Structure 1
Amino acid sequence: MITRLKFLGVGIAAAASFMFLPAWAQSAPDLGVPTLPAPGFKKLKVGEMEVISLNDGVSRRPLVAEFVKNAPLDEVKALLTSQNLPTEYIDIPFNTFLVVNGNQRYLMDTGFANNGGPTTGKTIENMAAAGYKPEDINNVIISHFHGDHINGLLYKDGSLVYPNAKVHVPAGEYAFWMDKDRLEKAPAGLKAAMTNAQRVFSKIPADRLVKFESGSEVAPGITSVAAFGHTPGHSLFTVKSGGQTFIYVADITNVPALFARNPDWAVSFDMDPEMARQSRRKIFDMIVKEKMMAGGFHFPFPSMGTITPSGNGYQFNPVK
């Protein structure tokens, strides 16, 4: 799979420079501080299962021309204005998702734990408010290896945040980021990102690490969906029970007010923008056709809702 992907060094470095520098997770003081949701969790029944969105925090960053790689900044600001959103900055939420199926609890992605800025790392306290502790988590399912999705596996001191959990990862994603030869040849931005991924997963005990192929069943009722482009092995997950379906779309779109409404726009974080665009269109079409509920890592809280067609793109409609 990886050999078919043509990830350009410039694109990778640009994505990595945004995704992995600590400043990315911190609020810019001259832009004010983002408001965090309270409560920071939301529960949704999906048949016999329960999906709980957990806000890990919000990052505020200046809106610059490089954020959308293939659209003029004026057009980007115009689309934000049409939705009564600020144009000087972008608020980027981080949301993890806990799926409860009987005595099995699956956390999808991790956020930052205590590795990010002051307005991040809120998953554990919001998990507690929802009635669960880190020790209750049996499984962590990772969509891809960008730092905001994996850094919450470990505390700063290197100890495991979820000591009783198996960690499920896409096989293709693992192969890409853990490749020592690729690390040696990587440009600076990618090298930093790969070093981070290898640091995190070197701490996961081998008997706790489970690799899955994209498209396979990760657990009863939970199936992975290939959505490559954002990263080489970027994977989404459907949760099906009692004739209902929820899909966790991870980073299929970053800031839905921009990239769901305009799926052909490319965010700086996409490592292969054209492949990411194709995946985005395909996934949104599937969600609409199959009437799925959807949740996204960077969706505005409560980060779950429906997707409906809107112009040349789609509209995220949050649950009440």
Structure 2
Amino acid sequence: MIDRRMFLGAGLAATGWLALGSAWSQQGTPPNLGAPALPAVGHRRHRLGEFELIALHDGALRRPLGEEFVRNVPLEQVKAMLASQGLPTDYVDIPFTAFLAVTPAGRFLFDAGFGDNGPPTTGRLREHLAAAGFKPEDIDHVVISHFHGDHINGVRLKDGALTFPRARIHVPAPEWAFWMDEARMQAAPQALQGAFQAVRRAFGGPVAERIVQFQPGAELAPGIRAEAAFGHTPGMCVFTLRSQGQGFIYVADTANIPALFVRNPEWSVMFDMDAELARQTRRRILEQAARERLLVGGYHFPFPALGTLEPMGTGWDWRPLAPVSG
């Protein structure tokens, strides 16, 4: 049964994401806002027991900060929160960082970035993968958290070739069921049609035979487990990695911009398809990360996108690791 609330939220999310992507792709960042700062070194290594984690920066986008960005809070309150942390109030920078886990079971890349399919200040993942000493052929597994374009477009290059030619592509079964349902695509609002088509492009052709669906709760490899994190999209998952008593959680898009949504987990970003469910998930996942003292990685967190959480008010304070070179 098609969930009308989910479709309404999806329409809003897709309208925002696709409009942003289209504007940036065709016109570039508005000149009065400047361009987002990109790190000089776009990879960051961290040891996790016998695993090695490598944060890989895929770029960033800058967008004007308007009333629509936080859907349930007045704009002035959002600006005040940013100003209190010494951050700009007329725009927000949205970074993109994937994570490579080098483990005894293989090399696992969590999310694929834009590839060469995105705006000009994105698509840096392969460059930073090379700087970290790896080739695309070295990736054994690509693990997708959810099917928004900034996470899946990098599975295939613009010419249709496989970006990671040896990798199996692991996807959440509930996410696959939603986006690959033909009846649901036909019933979706016009604003969402492009998102459905992007999913089919990313996972079609030579990718199709490499797809491995997994259920939330599944162990993808020793020490790597998927966990349901529905709300941002219908089937998004986050991933915990544990080795020799150390733990890491990749929260994907559970929280977008920690200065806003980690500090205030009840706030709703425009990209969440089911805002209420996303709020419940955000609080649950962040509470788990803080309670278990896990190292946290966020796809949209400022690079190096690795850090820890400390309680603050009704939310948490994000404490990033120092952005040193690998």
TM-score range, shorter chain: over 0.9
Residue in structure 2 matched with residue 61 of structure 1 by the alignment: 63
Residue in structure 2 matched with residue 91 of structure 1 by the alignment: 93
Residue in structure 1 matched with residue 308 of structure 2 by the alignment: 306
> Unmatched 5+ residue regions in structure 1?
none
SS at match of 2:130: helix
Superposed CA offset, 1:128-159 (max 9, x none): 11111111000000000000000001111111
Give how far 1:308 is off.
1.0
1:236 & 1:274 partners in 2: Cα distance?
Answer: 18
Is 2:196 the counterpart of 1:197? no
1:4 & 1:249 partners in 2: Cα distance?
Answer: 27
Superposed CA offset, 1:75-117 (max 9, x none): 0000000000000100000000000013611100011011111
1:27 & 1:176 partners in 2: Cα distance?
Answer: 32
With 165-174 and 309-318 compared, the bigger mean Cα shift is at 309-318
Residue in structure 2 matched with residue 19 of structure 1 by the alignment: 17
Q: Is the 8 A contact 1:18 1:24 kept in 2?
A: no
Q: TM-score, normalised by structure 1?
A: 0.96
Which contiguous aligned blocks of 4+ residues in structure 1 show a shift greater than 6 angstroms?
A: none
1:125 & 1:99 partners in 2: Cα distance?
Answer: 17
State the identity %: 53
Residue in structure 2 matched with residue 170 of structure 1 by the alignment: 172
- Superposition map of 1:72-83 within 5 A: 72-83=74-85
Superposed CA offset, 1:207-249 (max 9, x none): 3110000111112211001110000001000011001000000
Question: Please, which of 235, 238, 241 is the counterpart of residue 237 of structure 2?
Answer: 235
Q: Is the 8 A contact 2:105 2:222 kept in 1?
A: no
1:202 & 1:70 partners in 2: Cα distance?
Answer: 37
- Which amino acid in the other structure matches residue 296 of structure 1? G
With 16-25 and 159-168 compared, the bigger mean Cα shift is at 16-25
Residue in structure 2 matched with residue 216 of structure 1 by the alignment: 218
SS at match of 2:289: helix
Residue in structure 2 matched with residue 107 of structure 1 by the alignment: 109
- Which amino acid in the other structure matches residue 22 of structure 2? P
With 183-192 and 53-62 compared, the bigger mean Cα shift is at 183-192
Is 2:160 the counterpart of 1:158? yes
1:274 & 1:77 partners in 2: Cα distance?
Answer: 23
> Unmatched 5+ residue regions in structure 2?
none
Residue in structure 1 matched with residue 8 of structure 2 by the alignment: 10
Superposed CA offset, 1:253-311 (max 9, x none): 01111011110000000000000000000011111111100000000011001011111
1:296 & 1:171 partners in 2: Cα distance?
Answer: 22
- Which amino acid in the other structure matches residue 184 of structure 1? Q
Give how far 1:204 is off.
4.2
- Which amino acid in the other structure matches residue 149 of structure 2? G
- Which amino acid in the other structure matches residue 71 of structure 1? V
Question: Please, which of 121, 125, 130 is the counterpart of residue 127 of structure 2?
Answer: 125
2:199 & 2:320 partners in 1: Cα distance?
Answer: 32
Two-structure CA RMSD over aligned residues (Å): 1.4
1:226 & 1:24 partners in 2: Cα distance?
Answer: 32
2:24 & 2:274 partners in 1: Cα distance?
Answer: 21
Give how far 1:6 is off.
5.6
- Which amino acid in the other structure matches residue 12 of structure 1? A
Q: Is the 8 A contact 1:112 1:120 kept in 2?
A: yes
1:159 & 1:224 partners in 2: Cα distance?
Answer: 28
- Which amino acid in the other structure matches residue 50 of structure 1? E
1:4 & 1:227 partners in 2: Cα distance?
Answer: 19
Q: Is the 8 A contact 1:96 1:108 kept in 2?
A: yes
Q: Is the 8 A contact 2:2 2:184 kept in 1?
A: no
Q: Is the 8 A contact 1:140 1:168 kept in 2?
A: yes
